[in-house]
């Protein structure tokens, strides 16, 4: 196929009748063949607007964009021009190694994110070779016939050919929150996007009804694609990233004040200007946690691999830490507490002899029926059509012709079908939530409510079916659902999961309160919870929620375990109020009615089999809808956060103390306490030792509670433990100067070894609140790396590189002295740790996650692993 010189755009197609559009796109009502689709895909390219490919240059820029590094390199170049070439080369090599180390680890994490994203698939129903079949949204091409149902994200710019109550939420394009009603007749050419009532636009969401249309434009040629092309590639900041930013700003202020003071004082004391500048900048680099992004990225990459093995996918790696902050989980019942394999049990006639609710229930469906099987329907319809009882009706139903369908929506909680038999007699069949169906019946047979109550009490799911003659119905609307006659009840079984009780206990052990939000009947939900041992202290229905104001509902949420017969707005309101009270709120859902709550939660969680709009709104995708899998993700998030905090606390204790000591010593020593290149080398070796922190073990106590950033705690830690490190530094200065009468080279070597050992080995005290090694074992990689770096640092002054770096070999008697001081330092840290953690401290409430940028997140729905056309 050769691409047209002028492609048909959606604005032009909206001005043509449907048959003209089909003719222009060279397709008929049977859709494209597989061969035609493949040929067009080769011409038009994939239906994508962004790429999730890991790119090396942005990662490298992230490593080198630090202004401190730029100033340091500039100063090194200046020193080279002034004859200090050796120092300049040493500084350049150390900076290059530091940047390279960070780049390698962060790029690995980006590649891990790419692999995760490539596993997430979004599908739509397209007509290929005359049959509806699910296809990946990225392979849609102009000319494809596509079916749209409730909850779908519209996969391309589509000219509608058939609609039944179709409404689309176009807020991602227009900003208007009110859904737009769609129709088929063409509109005037030249109208705005909001005026294209006969078109469904890429990226919008089917809010109600259903429809069918032909794809006109894909990828960057769509209206949404043009908007996505102008979006920045940056991601929305998560709470974890916000904490990292706040911590980094704290150190920037500290480093800025310290660096400026050191430089000014050294200049006032008539020390060489260039030396003072290099020394000040080196101190700033030493305080800055330069490899913190690499430590975080390494943790995330390792965590994502472990979570992938546990069948958990995250759209963004940083969402793993946010999982660790969860303290309240709102979740639906089906497939989470129950097995999710719904099976049809029986039909219970209530309309008298000869009534057959199963026949009417099979006829009343939104699904397409192909070869006697339902395609694309809801789980209850699929279970009904797959049941052995349905086999006897498949031939008899052929004599009925469906004239119109009024799709299910969450306000009515019903679906209705207008059908005619071979003689032309019309019948309206309505099926849905029993309370809604019974409210529309003219008379409810005696005993029907008692039968319904008994089924609910047994924990069964029940759908009611009602009918009426429909000779007066020409257009099927909600107003026609009246004066019905109850035909009977359809009873389904969805038994509890065998391991759900254990999973609920595990979540409770992690400090997570599980709350059930369901569209099912309250009695059924309470019965399932009781069977699983979940304490049900209270239950509220949607009607109860409507009667409560925000203050009263917020007060009721902690004591309520079950929320039943709730609408999408109810779910979002519950999540919003809970977030305002405690933060750390997760929502697990898989339906279109869950999208609002998924967006409102701190962490939105869905499953791979969920509706498009639910997966689009979620941050985390579970390949299995299992609470135990979710608990694994929470533990992994807390593990990564705990290990990240270890690095942070190290940087704000001994590392900060050592840099502060160097700054103070420079004021009274006739020489610099450590050369700029030595400070940078010390910092590089220290950072290398900490790259094994992501492998470290985490105490069970730290995993049993939600984790989030506490800048006040970090500041207290810095002001408490930093001076302890400085005390031992000055003791080392005194011994070197007054006992060993050290000159500059010996002083540099002695303090280099002592400072590297203290700031590296302190990890074993800081990593746990218990006694290290005895009650809390570090990981083997961390142990080997830390002691290996300390050993290398101790041997460095006596090595051939020592003189080049400005060191003098240490006398043998100095080693046991330094070792004794290091042991005393660690013992004092251990004592101080007990006093520090014994003091009362009130942790802050988890901060709210910033509002998500829905356009960027929706663009990720149409993402491929390489650069899309036109970008």
Q: What are the residue numbers of the active site?
A: 332
- Give the dihedral sign, CA 37/39/42/45: negative
Q: How many angstroms separate the CA atoms of 580 and 15, rounded?
A: 48
Rg of the chain over all Cα atoms, to the nearest angstrom = 33
Helix, strand, coil in percent for the chain, rounding step 5: 50, 15, 30
How far, in Å, CA of 677 to CA of 282, rounded? 8
H/E segment holding residue 243: helix 239-268
Cβ atoms of residues 542 and 562 within 8 Å: no
Helix (H) or strand (E) holding 329: strand 328-331
CA-nearest of 352, 346, 345 to 487 is 352
By three-state DSSP, how is residue 456 classified? helix
The DSSP line for 83-105 is T-HHHHHHHHHHHHHHHHHHHHH
Q: How many C-beta atoms lie closer than 10 Å to residue 591's C-beta?
A: 21
Measured CA distances, 129 to 43, 368, 680 (Å): 20, 16, 66
Cα gap 761→33, rounded to integer Å:
67
For every residue of 22-86, which 3-state class applies, written as one string? HHHCCCCCCCECHHHHHHHHHHHCCCCCEECCCCHHHHHHHHHCCHHHHHHHHHHHHHHHCCCHH
What is the spatial distance between Cα 858 and Cα 13, in angstroms, rounded to a whole number? Answer: 24
Give the residue from 585, 562, 151 showing the smallest Cα distance to 328: 585
User: Could you tell me if 510 and 703 are in contact, meaning their C-beta atoms sit under 8 angstroms apart?
Assistant: yes
The sign of the dihedral angle between the CA atoms of 616, 621, 624, 626 is negative
What are φ and ψ of residue 330, in 5° steps? -95, 130
Q: Which sign, positive or negative, has the C-alpha torsion 392, 396, 398, 401?
A: negative
* Strand 603-607 with 585-588, pairing: parallel
User: Buried (b) or exposed (e) across 108-127, using 16+ Cβ within 10 A?
Assistant: bbbebbebbbeebebebbbb
Strands 603-607 and 401-406: unpaired
Query: Which helix (DSSP H) or strand (DSSP E) does residue 730 occupy?
Result: helix 711-734
Cβ atoms of 210 and 164 closer than 8 Å:
yes
Inter-residue contact 749 to 805 (CB < 8 Å)? no
* Helices and strands (H and E) in the chain: how many: 34, 26
Nearest to 520 by CA among 312, 268, 292, 331: 331
Concatenating the DSSP letter of every residue in 263-320 gives HHHHHHTT--HHHHHHHHHHHHHHHS-TTHHHHHHHHHHHHHHHHHHTTEEESSTTHH
| Among 536, 553, 505, 582, residue whose Cα is nearest residue 327 | 582
Closest CA to 707 of 322, 306, 314: 322
Tokens coding 356? 């057959």
């Amino acid at each position: 196929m050769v691409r047209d010189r002028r492609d048909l755009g959606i604005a032009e197609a909206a001005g043509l009748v449907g048959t003209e559009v089909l003719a222009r796109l060279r397709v008929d009502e049977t859709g494209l063949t597989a061969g035609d689709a493949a040929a067009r895909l080769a011409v038009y390219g994939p239906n994508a607007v962004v790429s999730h490919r890991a790119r090396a240059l942005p990662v490298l820029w992230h490593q080198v964009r630090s202004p401190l590094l730029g100033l340091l390199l500039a100063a090194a170049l200046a020193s080279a021009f002034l004859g200090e070439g050796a120092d300049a080369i040493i500084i350049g090599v150390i900076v290059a190694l530091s940047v390279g180390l960070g780049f390698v680890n962060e790029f690995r994490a980006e590649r891990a994110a790419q692999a995760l994203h490539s596993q997430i698939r979004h599908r739509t129903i397209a007509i290929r070779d005359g049959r509806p079949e699910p296809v990946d949204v990225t392979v849609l091409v102009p000319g494809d016939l596509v079916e749209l149902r409730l909850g779908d994200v519209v996969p391309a710019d589509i000219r509608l050919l058939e609609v039944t109550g179709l409404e689309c939420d176009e807020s991602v394009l227009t900003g208007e929150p009110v859904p737009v009603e769609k129709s088929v007749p063409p509109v005037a050419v030249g109208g705005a996007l909001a005026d294209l009532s006969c078109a469904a636009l890429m990226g919008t969401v089917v809010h109600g009804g259903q429809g069918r249309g032909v794809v006109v434009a894909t990828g960057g040629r769509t209206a949404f694609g043009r908007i996505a092309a102008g979006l920045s590639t940056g991601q929305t900041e998560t709470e974890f990233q916000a904490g990292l930013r706040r911590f980094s700003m704290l150190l920037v202020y500290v480093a800025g004040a310290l660096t400026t003071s050191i430089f000014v004082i050294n200049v006032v004391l008539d020390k060489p200007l260039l030396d003072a500048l290099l020394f000040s900048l080196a101190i700033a680099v030493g305080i800055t946690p330069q490899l913190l992004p690499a430590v975080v990225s390494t943790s995330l990459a390792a965590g994502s691999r472990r979570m992938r093995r546990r069948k958990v996918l995250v759209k963004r790696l940083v969402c793993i830490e946010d999982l660790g902050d969860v303290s309240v989980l709102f979740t639906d019942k089906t497939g989470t507490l129950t097995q999710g394999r719904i099976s049809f049990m029986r039909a219970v006639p209530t309309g008298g002899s000869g009534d057959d609710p199963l026949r009417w229930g099979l006829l009343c469906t939104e699904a397409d029926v192909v070869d006697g099987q339902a395609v694309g329907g809801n789980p209850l319809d699929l279970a009904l059509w797959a049941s052995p009882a349905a086999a006897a009706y498949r031939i008899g139903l052929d004599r009925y012709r469906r004239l119109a369908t009024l799709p299910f929506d969450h306000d009515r909680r019903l679906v209705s079908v207008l059908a005619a038999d071979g003689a032309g007699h019309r019948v309206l069949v309505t099926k849905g939530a029993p309370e809604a169906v019974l409210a529309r019946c003219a008379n409810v047979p005696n005993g029907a409510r008692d039968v319904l109550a008994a089924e609910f009490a047994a924990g069964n799911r029940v759908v009611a079916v009602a009918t009426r003659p429909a000779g007066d119905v020409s257009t099927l609307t909600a107003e026609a659902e009246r004066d019905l006659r109850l035909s009977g009840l359809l009873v389904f079984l969805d038994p509890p999961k065998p391991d759900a009780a254990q999973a609920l206990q595990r979540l409770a052990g992690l400090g997570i309160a599980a709350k059930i939000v369901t569209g099912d009947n309250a009695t059924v939900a309470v019965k399932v919870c009781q069977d699983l041992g979940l304490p049900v202290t209270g239950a509220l229905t949607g009607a109860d929620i409507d009667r409560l104001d925000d203050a009263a509902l917020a007060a009721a949420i902690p004591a309520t375990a079950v929320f039943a017969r709730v609408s999408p707005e109810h779910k979002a309101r519950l999540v919003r109020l809970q977030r305002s009270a405690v933060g750390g709120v997760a929502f697990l859902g898989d339906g279109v009615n869950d999208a609002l709550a998924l967006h409102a939660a701190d962490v939105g969680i869905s499953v791979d089999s969920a509706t498009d709009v639910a997966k689009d709104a979620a941050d985390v995708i579970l390949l299995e809808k299992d609470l135990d899998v979710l608990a694994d993700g929470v533990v992994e998030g807390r593990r990564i956060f705990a290990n990240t905090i270890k690095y942070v606390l190290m940087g704000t204790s001994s590392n900060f103390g050592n840099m502060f000591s160097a700054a103070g010593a420079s004021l009274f020593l006739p020489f610099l306490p450590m050369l700029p290149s030595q400070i940078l080398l010390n910092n590089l070796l220290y950072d290398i030792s900490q790259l094994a922190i992501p492998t470290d073990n985490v105490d069970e106590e730290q995993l049993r509670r939600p984790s989030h950033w506490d800048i006040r705690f970090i500041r207290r830690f810095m002001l408490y433990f930093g001076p302890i490190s400085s005390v031992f530094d000055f003791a080392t200065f005194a011994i070197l100067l007054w006992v060993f009468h050290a000159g500059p080279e010996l002083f540099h070597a002695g303090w280099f070894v002592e400072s590297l050992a203290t700031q590296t080995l302190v990890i074993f005290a800081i990593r746990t609140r218990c006694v290290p090694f005895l009650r809390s074992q570090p990981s083997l990689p961390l142990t080997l790396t830390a002691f290996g770096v300390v050993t290398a640092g101790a041997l460095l002054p006596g090595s051939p590189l020592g003189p080049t770096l400005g060191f003098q070999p240490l006398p043998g008697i100095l080693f046991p002295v330094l070792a004794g001081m290091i042991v005393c330092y660690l013992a004092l840290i251990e004592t101080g740790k007990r006093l520090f953690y014994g003091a009362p401290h009130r942790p802050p409430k988890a901060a709210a996650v910033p509002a998500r940028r829905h356009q960027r997140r929706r663009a990720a729905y149409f993402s491929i692993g390489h650069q899309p056309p036109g970008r």
